[in-house]
Amino acid sequence: MGLRKQREGFSLPNATIVRSFTSTGAIIKNRVVKLLATGNITHTTGTSGRMVIGVALTAATGGGKKVPVQMSGIALVQVSTRAVASGVNVRATSGAISTGSNLGGTVRTSTVAMTTALPIRANIVGYTLTSAAAAAAGTQRTVEVMLYPMANNPALL
């Protein structure tokens, strides 16, 4: 028996992992979230830390709501007010959660050099496949991000 030539189109299996979690408060669609010790999710903010589990695929108006979270694959993610180029590592922003501020739960370019010097304190969310220009607060913009959340800040572990 010989090898059969591939005459039909084929595609790779979908590598997207989505899991539902319960929210602790309001959740904004397409923003990054973190997992709490209770198993619930909240947006990343300055006080909650920036270790990301994934991207919220739907919004929630308050606590106790089920929210699907994309944990891998390519996701649309809201960006901060800063410009974000394609082909760069991004990290979660800090600040209060608000659709008017573009802070809590959004991403921005990581300013930490990914070198061999330790400890690397970058907390990378993923790698951008598209870009977004800088914009005023309240202007909702998204970029496509290949998700690979990393816990590489020993202060958060």
Residue 20, C-beta contacts closer than 8 angstroms, at least 6 positions apart: 66, 67, 68, 69
The C-alpha atoms of residue 77 and residue 141 are separated, in whole angstroms, by 8
- Non-local (6+) Cβ contacts of 28 within 8 A are 43, 56, 59, 78, 97, 99, 105
Helix (H) or strand (E) holding 153: none
Residue 2, judged by CB atoms within 10 A of its CB (0-12, 13-18, 19+), counts as exposed
Indicate whether 24 pLDDT > 60: yes
Hey, what's the torsion of the CAs at 18, 21, 24, 29, to 10 degrees?
20
* Mean pLDDT for the chain overall: 81
Give per-residue pLDDT as tens, 81-122.
Answer: 899 999 998 888 877 777 777 777 889 888 766 555 555 556
Which pLDDT band, with edges at 50, 70 and 90, does 13 fall under?
low
The reported pLDDT for the residue numbered 157 is: 44
pLDDT tens per residue across span 34-84: 999 899 999 887 545 567 899 999 999 999 999 999 999 999 999 988 999
